[in-house]
């Protein structure tokens, strides 16, 4: 009975995992079909795979340029975020004041501002500052929108560090800098890594601001996809290949760092 139950659960888990993976798989298949095969009905599961779509994309569009923008924006926004969020979370976790909790909750509440609502002011502001279609604008916006959640996450990670370990290092003769460098950083590194990872994924997948504030120069991969769906009509096979190219790097990256990702998503709250 119990054995049967376990097997049933395993079976259901398999089915869920397959259903879950199917949309990605189907798009991957379509990316190796010809345009005709991609829209054929009944749908084709077996066909002669072709790399033509990928060749076309590299010929038509500057994939490397978009990918570079995606990488540059994600990495820079994340670095900037860490630069501001780590000291703040450190101060809040280790020198809490009377209002620390309130300030944190307030910071988090700025996440509730609807993006469309601030689009107009930000659009006008970027235009006036000459920042339209620049990577700088996207870096700043991604940085701003991820900062509150990052401070909150880092705070929860830092707070888990036992206070007496920090005190032990002070008594062992470490100054503030040495304590941070030799004791605190190694301890909180996994938490920082999780936060950074989540930030990179969020920046990578950010589409709203990319589409509205960039045209070509600073456009990341999410905008790259848009360039395939809009003007030339719908070429599904080629669009699929472009999508695969856009998500593949982040899926691989996320898969490699799954442990940090899960810790980040659960805010380290799970102990």
Partner 1 sequence: MATVAIRGVRKFFGQLEVLHSVDVEIDDGEFVILVGPSGCGKTTLLRMIAGLEDVSHGEILIGGRRVNDIAPKARDVAMVFQNYALYPHMTVRQNMSFALRLARRNRAEINQRVERAAEILGLGQLLDRSPRQLSGGQRQRVAMGRALVRDPQVFLFDEPLSNLDAKLRVQMRAEIKELQQRLKTTTVYVTHDQIEAMTMADKIVIMRSGHVEQIGAPLDLYDYPVNQFVAGFLGSPAMNFLEGEIADGAVITADGSRWPLPTTSTGYPTGQKVVYGIRPEHLTLGEAGVPARVQVVEPTGSETQVLLQAGGTTLVAALRERLPAQPGAVLHVTVDATRAHLFDPASGERLSSIFPVSGHKK
Partner 2 sequence: MSTTVIIPTPAKAPARPLLPRLLPYLLSLPALIVCIGILVPFFTAAWYSLQRYNLAMPLNREFVWFGQYLDMLTDPDFWATVRVSAVYAASTVGLELLLGLGIALLLRERTRFNNIVSVALLLPLMTAPAIASLMWKLMTNPNFGVLSWLVALFGVHDFRWASAPSSAMFTVVLVDIWVYTPFMMVLLLAGLRSLPQQPFEAARLDGVAGHFVFFRITLPMLAPYIVTATLFRMLDSMQQFDIVYAMTQGGPGDSLMLFQVRAYLDFFQYTNVGTSAALMIVLWALTYALSNVFIKQWLKLRERTHGAA
The least CB distance from residue 176 to partner 2, in Å, is 8
Would you say 122 or 183 has its CB closer to partner 2? 122
Q: Where does the chain have alpha helices with state H? A: 2-31, 35-38, 52-60, 63-94, 100-109, 115-128, 135-160, 163-171, 176-178, 185-205, 208-213, 221-229, 236-256, 258-265
Residue 10 partner contact from partner 1, partner 2, none using kind-dependent CB cut-offs of 5 to 8 Å: partner 2
- Single residue of 208, 215, 217, 232 touching partner 2 by CB under 8 A: 208
103-162 binders of partner 2 (CB under 8 A): 103, 105-107, 109-122, 125, 144, 147-148, 151
Residue 209 interacting with partner 2 (CB under 8 A): no
The least CB distance from residue 163 to partner 1, in Å, is 9
Among 76, 250, 96, 238, which residue's Cα sits nearest to residue 158? 96
Residue 5: count other Cβ atoms within 10 Å of its Cβ: 9
Would you say 217 or 266 has its CB closer to partner 2? 266
* Interface ranges with partner 1 (CB under 8 A): 162, 164-165, 167-175, 178, 182-183, 186-187
- Single residue of 14, 47, 58, 182 touching partner 2 by CB under 8 A: 14
Would you say 10 or 175 has its CB closer to partner 1? 175
Helices 100-109 and 63-94, packing angle to 10 deg: 160
Residue 92 partner contact from partner 1, partner 2, none using kind-dependent CB cut-offs of 5 to 8 Å: partner 2
Would you say 183 or 244 has its CB closer to partner 2? 244
Residue 126: count other Cβ atoms within 10 Å of its Cβ: 21
DSSP letter string, 105-131: HHHHHGGGS-HHHHHHHHHHHHHHTT-
8 Å CB contact between 31 and 53: yes
Number of residues in the chain: 271
- Single residue of 49, 97, 130, 175 touching partner 2 by CB under 8 A: 97
The least CB distance from residue 160 to partner 1, in Å, is 12
Residue 153 partner contact from partner 2, partner 1, none using kind-dependent CB cut-offs of 5 to 8 Å: none
């Amino acid at each position: 009975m119990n054995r049967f139950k376990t097997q049933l659960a395993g079976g259901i888990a398999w089915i869920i995992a397959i259903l879950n993976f199917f949309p990605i798989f189907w798009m991957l298949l379509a990316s190796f079909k010809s345009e005709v095969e991609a829209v054929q009905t009944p749908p084709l599961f077996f066909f002669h795979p072709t790399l033509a779509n990928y060749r076309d994309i590299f010929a038509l569009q500057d994939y490397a340029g978009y990918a570079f923008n995606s990488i540059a924006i994600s990495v820079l926004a994340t670095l900037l975020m860490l630069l501001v969020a780590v000291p703040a979370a450190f101060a809040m976790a280790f020198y809490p004041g009377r209002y620390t909790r309130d300030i944190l909750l307030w910071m988090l509440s700025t996440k509730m501002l609807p993006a469309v609502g601030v689009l107009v002011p930000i659009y006008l502001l970027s235009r006036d500052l000459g920042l339209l279609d620049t990577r700088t604008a996207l870096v700043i916006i991604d940085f701003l929108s991820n900062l509150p959640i990052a401070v909150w996450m880092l705070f929860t990670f830092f707070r888990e560090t036992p206070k007496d370990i920090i005190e032990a290092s002070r008594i062992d003769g470490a100054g503030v800098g040495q304590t941070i460098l030799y004791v605190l950083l190694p301890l909180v590194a996994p938490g920082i890594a999780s936060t950074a990872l989540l930030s990179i994924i969020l920046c990578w997948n950010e589409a709203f601001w990319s589409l509205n504030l960039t045209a070509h120069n600073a456009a990341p991969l999410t905008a790259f996809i848009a360039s395939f769906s809009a003007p030339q009509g719908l070429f599904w096979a080629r669009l699929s290949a472009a999508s695969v190219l856009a998500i593949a790097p982040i899926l691989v990256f996320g898969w490699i760092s799954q442990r940090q990702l899960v810790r980040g998503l659960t805010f380290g709250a799970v102990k």
